[in-house]
């Protein structure tokens, strides 16, 4: 057999239309009539496709055409196009079983001398058939890669049967035929490759294996098959350090998959990823529905895996608190030996799970109550910064570079009575920021009171000096507003009234604040009066805009210009309101 041609891509390569259509339709007579005129291996398209490539791409094919063409020009069997694809690559991609069989049959029927010539030219020591089956295109795909990718089951079976002992390695993307089949959930193809290939390669992209792919596909059947037919994949980590069990804990897979992995290799429960997390850590840090069952299964088989810590020294319970997973906390608390050991274990920063909850300033009330009601929780534990739970709550909700919204105040009111009872600290001593906060607040509340009073005065006055004046003529409407039927005037009256009500409310709250001894109630009243005053300013501006428009309506351009300017300042007021929501505007700590 002659050596395959390596014709370079030429810009002027072209195939005559009559030859192209004859190749597509399989009209062998056209080529037999011109056998003395045509060099078949030089009939190329711009992409260096030969007549066999063209025929293999067609929707209908003829094995007689393939056989006769190869008899006339044997080098076409292994001649590649610009992408490095042989006719077998193309036939496998499109699932042309008859062409695949014809190509293999021709390779087998070549005489020994032609095989020796081919092997000498290619520098290979394999038979022509195996050489063709193992040839790779520029993306390192074999014909089997192509057949598996496009689900050509019959072609896959033919190719495997011809070369069952070859381990098809990864292509340029890191994919092996088996990995492509598993990732694509082609269960029949997976079964065929595992049953008929003696040693199929099991690697995939990014350091993953076919077992990783089966877990990510959440396929229990493929996972079981791979565990039966492959070895040493349960502890193979990808480039991120994740083994298959880690993905089973991370993704919402069925717990039966976790059981299969642990039955195969129970020690995988102790394997840590790149940042030291085990499968139990990952499950505790997840929020999918099945994470509870996954955690239960791991704890049942490997209870002491709860003691493994990550690179930051955090155990399973730290992760449960981090993700606010109450189920994970209950799993530990229900096992006294585990719970009592983990409850007060400290990470590298000295934070117990109880302290770590405070450091992150978010938690579920159920988790907090579980900690506070547990008799073995050290509620007075200090971390390496010499802070206990109450100190950390004060800082996290504190007044330095933090926004205190109504929700955060609600959380503070909700948590504080429990802490006073459970921890028993003196409020003045435990909150070092409180005295300074109250001192700065004393300065700002006077300003708020003055502004609120001024707004109330202005809006009250505007309510009795209505735009447009009053009816002066005698009659039933004497003294009524002239513009009472105008929509802009009506909006003025409403917004002016709202501004008056808000400012009066702010003044009243400010007065109530002066009569209270509860420091936290004082803080809440102060914040509330500030918000009411800001809203009163906004409504007063809207009242001005609508009132001005009502009296300037006859001069439409002037009225519109006034509204635009007023609305511009309204937008600016919202912008500044968002900025001053931070209490740093009022309470600055040195």
Q: How wide is the angle at C-alpha 115 spanned by C-alphas 110 and 116, nearest 5°?
A: 150
In this prediction, residue 440 carries a pLDDT of 64
Give the least confident one: 226-235, 279-288, 358-367: 358-367
In this prediction, residue 26 carries a pLDDT of 92
The pLDDT tens digits of the residues spanning 3-18 come to: 444 444 454 688 999 9
Q: How confident is the model at residue 410 (pLDDT cuts 50, 70, 90)?
A: very low
pLDDT beyond 80 at 549:
no
Separation of first and last alpha carbons in the chain? 89
In this prediction, residue 1 carries a pLDDT of 43
pLDDT beyond 80 at 576:
no
d(CA 495, CA 458): 13
Q: How confident is the model at residue 141 (pLDDT cuts 50, 70, 90)?
A: very high
Q: How confident is the model at residue 140 (pLDDT cuts 50, 70, 90)?
A: very high
Average pLDDT score over residue span 336-364:
82
Helix (H, G, I), strand (E, B) or coil at 363: coil
Q: How confident is the model at residue 76 (pLDDT cuts 50, 70, 90)?
A: very high
In this prediction, residue 124 carries a pLDDT of 46
Answer with the residue of higher pLDDT: 23 or 327.
Answer: 23
Q: How confident is the model at residue 583 (pLDDT cuts 50, 70, 90)?
A: very low
Answer with the residue of higher pLDDT: 580 or 59.
Answer: 59
pLDDT beyond 80 at 559:
no
Annotate 512-549 with DSSP letters as a single string.
Answer: HHTT---HHHHHHHHHHHHHHHHHHHHHHHHHHHHHHH
pLDDT beyond 80 at 143:
yes
Number of other residues whose CB lies within 10 A of the CB of residue 44: 22
Answer with the residue of higher pLDDT: 76 or 320.
Answer: 76
In this prediction, residue 4 carries a pLDDT of 47
Annotate 451-511 with DSSP letters as a single string.
Answer: HHHHHHHHHHHHHHS-TT-B--SSSTTTTSBTTTT-HHHHHHHHHHHHHHHHHHHHHHHHH
Answer with the residue of higher pLDDT: 276 or 544.
Answer: 276
In this prediction, residue 537 carries a pLDDT of 83
What is the model's pTM? 0.66
In this prediction, residue 461 carries a pLDDT of 81
In this prediction, residue 27 carries a pLDDT of 92
Q: How confident is the model at residue 428 (pLDDT cuts 50, 70, 90)?
A: very low
Treating both helix axes as pointing N-terminal to C-terminal, what angle do 153-162 and 87-94 enclose, rounded to 10 degrees?
140
pLDDT beyond 50 at 399:
no
In this prediction, residue 93 carries a pLDDT of 96
d(CA 18, CA 30): 9
> DSSP assignment, residue 209?
B
pLDDT beyond 80 at 356:
yes
207-211, 513-517, 522-526 — which one is most confidently predicted on average?
207-211
Average pLDDT score over residue span 393-405:
44
Q: Which two tokens stand for residue 16?
A: 């005559």
Answer with the residue of higher pLDDT: 33 or 220.
Answer: 220
CA 274 to chain centroid, in Å, comes to 19
Average pLDDT score over residue span 36-47:
88
Give the least confident one: 90-99, 375-384, 425-434, 509-518: 425-434
Average pLDDT score over residue span 496-521:
79
Give the least confident one: 161-175, 373-387, 481-495, 568-582: 568-582
The pLDDT tens digits of the residues spanning 213-257 come to: 999 999 999 999 999 999 899 999 999 999 999 999 999 899 999
Distances in Å between the Cα of 81 and the Cα atoms of 5, 7, 44, 99 are 10, 8, 9, 17
Q: How confident is the model at residue 580 (pLDDT cuts 50, 70, 90)?
A: low
Over the Cα atoms of the chain, what is R_g? Answer: 40
pLDDT beyond 90 at 111:
no
Give the least confident one: 460-464, 489-493, 559-563: 559-563
Encode burial over 63-76: b for 16+ CB neighbours within 10 A, e otherwise: bebbbbbbeebbbb
Beta strand extents in 438-571 (DSSP E only): none
Answer with the residue of higher pLDDT: 440 or 336.
Answer: 336
Give the least confident one: 114-118, 157-161, 522-526: 114-118
In this prediction, residue 587 carries a pLDDT of 40
d(CA 460, CA 220): 74
The pLDDT tens digits of the residues spanning 432-450 come to: 555 666 666 776 777 888 8
In this prediction, residue 416 carries a pLDDT of 40
Torsion of CA 7, 12, 13, 16, to 10 degrees: -160
In this prediction, residue 108 carries a pLDDT of 87
d(CA 253, CA 260): 12
In this prediction, residue 426 carries a pLDDT of 42
Average pLDDT score over residue span 268-280:
94
Comparing CA positions, the residue from 232, 227, 226, 239 lying closest to residue 185 is 226
DSSP bridge pairs for 203: 209
In this prediction, residue 9 carries a pLDDT of 46
d(CA 466, CA 125): 104
Mean residue pLDDT across the chain:
80
Give the least confident one: 30-34, 77-81, 380-384, 413-417: 413-417
pLDDT beyond 90 at 480:
no
pLDDT beyond 90 at 184:
yes
Answer with the residue of higher pLDDT: 348 or 426.
Answer: 348
Answer with the residue of higher pLDDT: 418 or 335.
Answer: 335
Q: How confident is the model at residue 369 (pLDDT cuts 50, 70, 90)?
A: confident
Q: Are 380 and 370 in contact, with CB atoms under 8 Å apart? A: no
Answer with the residue of higher pLDDT: 380 or 532.
Answer: 532
């Amino acid at each position: 057999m002659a050596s395959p041609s390596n014709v370079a891509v030429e810009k002027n390569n072209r195939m005559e239309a009559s030859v192209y259509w004859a190749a597509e339709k399989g009209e062998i007579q056209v080529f037999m009539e011109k056998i003395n005129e045509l060099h078949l291996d030089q009939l190329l398209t711009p992409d260096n496709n030969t007549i066999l490539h063209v025929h293999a791409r067609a929707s209908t094919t003829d094995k007689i055409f393939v056989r006769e063409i190869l008899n006339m020009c044997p080098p076409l069997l292994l001649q590649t196009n610009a992408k490095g694809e042989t006719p077998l690559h193309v036939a496998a991609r499109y699932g042309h079983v008859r062409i695949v069989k014809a190509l293999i049959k021709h390779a087998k029927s070549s005489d020994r001398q032609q095989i020796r010539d081919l092997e000498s030219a290619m520098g290979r020591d394999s038979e022509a058939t195996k050489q063709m089956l193992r040839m790779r295109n520029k993306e390192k795909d074999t014909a089997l890669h192509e057949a598996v990718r496009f689900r050509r089951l019959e072609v896959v079976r033919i190719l495997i049967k011809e070369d069952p002992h070859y381990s098809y390695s990864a292509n340029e993307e890191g994919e092996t035929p088996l990995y492509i089949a598993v990732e694509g959930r082609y269960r029949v193809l997976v079964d065929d490759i595992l049953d008929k290939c003696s040693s199929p390669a099991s690697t995939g992209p990014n350091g993953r294996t076919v077992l990783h792919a089966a877990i990510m596909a959440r396929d229990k059947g493929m996972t079981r098959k791979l565990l039966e037919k492959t070895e040493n994949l349960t502890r193979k980590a990808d480039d991120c350090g994740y083994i298959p069990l880690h993905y089973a804990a991370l993704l919402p897979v069925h717990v039966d998959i976790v059981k299969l992995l642990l039955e195969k290799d129970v020690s995988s429960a102790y394997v840590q990823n790149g940042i030291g997390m085990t499968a139990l850590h990952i499950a505790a840090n997840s929020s999918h529905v099945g994470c509870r069952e996954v955690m239960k299964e791991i704890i049942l088989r490997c209870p002491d895996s709860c003691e493994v810590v990550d690179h930051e020294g955090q155990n399973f319970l730290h992760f449960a608190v981090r993700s606010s997973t109450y189920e994970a906390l209950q799993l530990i608390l229900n096992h006294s030996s585990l719970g009592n050991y983990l409850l007060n274990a400290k990470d590298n920063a000295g934070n117990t799970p109880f302290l770590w909850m405070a450091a992150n300033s978010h938690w579920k009330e159920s988790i907090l109550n579980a900690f506070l009601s547990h008799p073995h929780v050290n509620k007075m534990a200090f971390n390496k910064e010499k802070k206990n739970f109450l100190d950390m709550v004060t800082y996290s909700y504190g007044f330095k570079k933090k926004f205190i919204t109504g929700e955060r105040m609600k959380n503070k009111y909700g948590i504080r009575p429990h802490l006073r009872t459970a921890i028993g600290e003196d409020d003045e001593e435990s909150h070092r920021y409180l005295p300074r906060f109250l001192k700065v607040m004393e300065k700002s509340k006077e300003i708020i009171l003055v502004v609120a009073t001024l707004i109330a005065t202005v809006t009250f006055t505007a309510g009795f000096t209505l735009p447009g004046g009053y009816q002066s003529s005698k009659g039933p409407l004497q003294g009524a507003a002239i513009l009472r039927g105008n929509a802009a005037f009506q909006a003025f009256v409403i917004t002016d009234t709202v501004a008056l009500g808000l400012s009066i409310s702010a003044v009243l709250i400010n007065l109530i604040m002066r009569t209270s001894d509860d420091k936290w109630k004082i803080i809440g009243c102060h914040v509330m009066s500030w918000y009411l005053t800001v809203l009163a300013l906004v409504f007063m501006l809207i009242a001005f805009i609508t009132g001005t428009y009502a009296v300037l309506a006859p001069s439409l351009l002037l009225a519109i210009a006034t509204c635009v300017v007023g609305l511009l300042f309204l937008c600016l007021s919202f912008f500044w309101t968002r900025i001053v929501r931070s209490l740093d505007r009022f309470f600055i700590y040195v």
